[in-house]
Amino acid sequence: MTDSDAPAHDGDPPDGGGSPIGGDLPDDGDPPTDGGDLPDDQPDLLDSARRLLASGPVCDHCLGRPFADRSFGLGNDERGRGLRTAVALADDEDFDSPDPAACWVCEGVFQRLSSFTDEAVDTVADHEFETYQVGTRVPGLLAENDRLLREDAGLDPEAGEPLRKELNRELGKRIGARTDTEVDFDRPDVQFLLDLEADEVEATVNSAFVYGRYRKLERDIPQTEWPCSDCDGTGRDAGGPCPACDGTGYRYPESVEQLTAPVVEDVMDGVDSAFHGAGREDVDARMLGTGRPFVVEVAEPRRRTVDTERLEADIDAFAEGRVAVDGLRLCRYEMVERVKELDASKRYRAEVVFAEPVDSDALDDAAAALSGTTVEQYTPTRVDHRRASKTRERTAYEVTASLAEDDPTRATVEIHGEGGLYVKELVSSDDGRTEPSLAGELGVGAEVAALDVLAVTGEEEPFEREALFRDDRDVTRATGEVDG
Ligand SMILES: [Zn+2]
Ligand SMILES: [Zn+2]
Q: Is residue 35 part of a domain?
A: no
Provide the pLDDT for residue 83: 95
Let me know: does 303 contact 268? Beta carbons within 8 Å.
Answer: yes
Provide the pLDDT for residue 211: 98
Among the candidates 342, 371, 402, a domain finishes at 342
Same domain, 370 and 309: no
Which residues, 6+ apart, have CB-to-CB distance to 360 below 8 Å? 403, 408
Q: Is residue 325 part of a domain?
A: yes
Same domain, 48 and 169: yes
Q: Which ligand is nearest to the CA of 62?
A: 1
Let me know: does 146 contact 160? Beta carbons within 8 Å.
Answer: no
Q: Is residue 25 part of a domain?
A: no
Q: How many domains does the chain have?
A: 3
Residue 337: what are its φ and ψ, rounded to 5°? Answer: -60, -40
CATH number at residue 277: 3.30.70.2510
Same domain, 281 and 389: no
For CA atoms 258, 262, 263, 265, give the dihedral sign: positive
Among the candidates 288, 308, 342, a domain finishes at 342
Q: Which residues surround ligand 1, an ion (CB under 5 A)?
A: 59, 62, 103, 105-106
**Ligand 1 mean position to 77 CA, how many Å?**
9
**Ligand 1 mean position to 148 CA, how many Å?**
13
Give the domain range for residue 351.
Answer: 344-458
Q: Which ligand is nearest to the CA of 52?
A: 1
| Rounded Cα gap, residues 368 and 360, in angstroms | 12
Same domain, 282 and 250: yes
Per-position pLDDT tens, the chain of length 484 = 333 333 433 334 444 444 433 334 444 444 444 444 444 444 488 999 999 999 999 999 999 999 999 989 999 999 999 999 999 999 998 888 889 999 999 999 999 999 999 999 999 999 999 999 999 999 999 999 999 999 988 999 889 999 999 999 999 999 999 999 999 998 999 999 999 999 999 999 999 999 999 999 999 999 998 899 999 999 998 889 999 999 989 989 899 999 999 999 999 999 999 999 999 999 999 999 999 999 999 999 999 999 999 999 999 999 999 999 999 999 999 999 999 999 999 999 999 999 999 999 999 999 999 999 999 999 888 876 677 788 999 999 999 999 999 999 999 999 999 999 999 999 999 999 999 999 999 999 999 999 999 999 999 999 999 999 998 888 765 555 544 3
Q: Is residue 161 part of a domain?
A: yes
Which is catalytic among the residues 27, 152, 195, 282? 282
Q: Which ligand is nearest to the CA of 111?
A: 1
Same domain, 324 and 356: no
| Rounded Cα gap, residues 364 and 478, in angstroms | 33
CA dihedral 349, 353, 358, 362 (to 10 degrees): -30
CATH number at residue 387: 3.30.70.3190
**Ligand 1 mean position to 175 CA, how many Å?**
21
CA dist list (Å): 355 to 82, 200, 409, 441:
93, 73, 7, 14
Q: Which of 377, 364, 462 is nearest to 411 (CA)?
A: 364
Q: Which of 336, 4, 305 is nearest to 129 (CA)?
A: 305
Same domain, 314 and 446: no
- Is 282 known to be catalytic? yes
Q: Is residue 314 part of a domain?
A: yes
**Ligand 1 mean position to 88 CA, how many Å?**
19
| Rounded Cα gap, residues 456 and 35, in angstroms | 59
**Ligand 1 mean position to 44 CA, how many Å?**
22
- Number of helices (H), then strands (E), belonging to the chain: the values are 13, 16
Q: Is residue 34 part of a domain?
A: no
Same domain, 357 and 334: no
308-319 vs 256-268: helix axis angle to the nearest 10? 140
How many residues does this entry show for the chain?
484
Same domain, 215 and 322: yes
- Model's pTM, two decimal places? 0.83
Same domain, 235 and 144: no
Same domain, 323 and 366: no
Same domain, 377 and 239: no
Same domain, 333 and 349: no
Provide the pLDDT for residue 237: 87
Q: Is residue 411 part of a domain?
A: yes
**Ligand 2 mean position to 237 CA, how many Å?**
7
Q: Is residue 398 part of a domain?
A: yes
